A and B are shown apart, each in its own frame.
Chain A
Amino acid sequence: LRLIYTTTAVQRKNVGASGPEKYTEAFIKKQIEEFNLGKRHLANMMGEDPETFTQEDIDKAIAYLFPSGLFDKQARPMMKHPTEIFPEQRKIQWGEDGRPLHFLFYTGKQAYYSLMHETYEKLLNVQKYQDELTAQDLPPKKEKKNLAGSRWLTKIELEEMLLEKLSDDDYSRFVQLLQKLMTLPCGDIEEKYIQKFSKAVPVQLQKVVTEPLKYDEQGVAFSTGEGTRKTARATAVVYDNGTGKITVNGIDILHYFPVLQDREQLLFPFQFLGRVGKHDMVCTVSGGGRSAQAGAIRLASAKALRSFVTEKEVEFMRQAGLLTLDPRVKERKKPGQEGARRKFTWKKR
């Protein structure tokens, strides 16, 4: 038997990449002590009281002492509590005798599988409860839950919660299990458990509230509206009991808009509602060109007319496109091209 000497380099040949660096508890503790000491030093430097030096003060002080012109805020010098900087990691998995601490340790994804195990247990409980109710001939509870106002946790949020990587399949399976649990009739028992994994979503559809009519000194009802188109901004005040007179920036429309097309645009909302000669309008407009100003005033008057009209007609107006802001603006010119879309003349040789 000969003793073969090998170098350390050869011994460690086939070691795979060992994940992200593990921060020991002692290391984190030391970092926290250093942070606290540094905080006091910084307070002394700035002439403030070390006891009442908050995180905002630290940020301001660092921004003052180390000014940086970098665009990315994350790249600038920062001083934060170590728990915010070093990501949370799972501590050691097995005890002194070598036995792992979690009973699903050998699966590899212990947090995820234990979550699945718990959720399945809740499902079995609910089924048992249902069976008991049917055995006693009681009807199952039927309560509708608010499905629209909540969403499940996203995959990233779940990963943060479990401190473990998940695959898309795993995540979809978990969501399917939760949905199954929720759809069962007696799912109310486990509602607390389900709430841990759902988040309230603020209702996005904001109902546009039509403003009420205002009355001026003579008792005439009026309402205002604002509109924009390209670079033109317009405000319109529509008065009731009128003759159909329209004034723009103090000038009559016949003089302000000589072209027929613009005047047609202005009258379109009234014509659509059948109130051509019944309202007076006073508008102010600035910016843009002649067509843009006409479009802006049209939008403003349509918005103002909402208050005079029933909800059904408002819906008709919306469907006709009178209440929609036109998003088209001038497209920017790109380098290497003559204009926004036009390219330079292509020469074959």
Chain B
Amino acid sequence: DDKLLSEPLGHPDFFNVQELFSLKDLFDARVHLGHKKGCRHRFMEPYIFGCRLDQDIIDLDQTMQHLQLALNFTAHIAYRKGIILFVSRKRQFCHLVESTARDCGEYAHTRYWQGGLLTNAHIQFGSGVRLPDLLIFLSSLNNVFEPHVAIRDAAKMNIPTVGVVDTNCNPCLITYPIPGNDDTPSAMELYCKLFRMTIIRAKDKRRQTEVFNELR
């Protein structure tokens, strides 16, 4: 049982998430497109490759690294049977995110975030609730273009966060930021596909190793 949990931690890429995406895939899905120069957030400047005709272009090499780290982390969380919560306040992709979560067997929250959901959970839900072990933000801003309350709440409750940060977002409190576009449908579909594949892969691996251990 110990070996089951400690074995994946030895490898840098135990679940081989690197093969799921390539730079060309990211480029075709227009992940590199950011907002205009005026919307740029100060803390996103290290992730920006340049600016063309006032539109910011995100550095896809850095995105590749961050994406690999983030997917690897989600795979480990899913392997250890953690609860993953997909959060996005983009109305356009609400249905897509909820369907992705349902297909993975994980949870989603793409609606109005009630204030005490994480911090006041024992009163809102009941006394024996289990809080999510990972929050994945497919868009880290809410409908008023302010940072989503869940980022701050997750930081308060010591819950790690993975988030797609666009050029107008604040990447500060997110543990594994992924600089990339969060407005285009193709980019969102790519992210959903990647997360879904990693989580399913990690869960299958867990089931397989458990079956192997039982057979011995």
A contacts, CB < 8 Å to B: 15-16, 18, 93-94, 97-100, 103-109, 113, 117, 120-121, 124
Contact = CB atoms under 8 A, between A and B. Distances in A.
A94 B101 contact: no
A108 B95 contact: no
**Most chain A beta-carbon neighbours within 10 Å: one of B106, B111, B124, B126:** B111
B123 A94 contact: no
Contacts of A97: 81
Given A93-B125, A97-B81, A105 B107 contact: yes
Nearest to A97: B81
A103 B95 contact: no
A220 B105 CA distance: 84
Given A94-B128, A113-B111, 6 more contacts: A97-B81, A107-B109, A108-B117, A108-B124, A120-B94, A121-B95
B192 interface: no
B123 A15 contact: yes
A117 B95 CA distance: 7
B42 interface: no
Interface residues on B, range: 20 to 34
B129 interface: yes
A104 B98 contact: yes
B114 A108 contact: yes
Nearest to A99: B83
Contact of B123 (A16, A100, A105): A16
A106 B106 contact: no
Contacts of B117: 106, 108
Contacts of A93: 125-126
B102 interface: yes
A104 B117 CA distance: 13
Nearest to B95: A120
Nearest to B124: A108
A16 B102 CA distance: 32
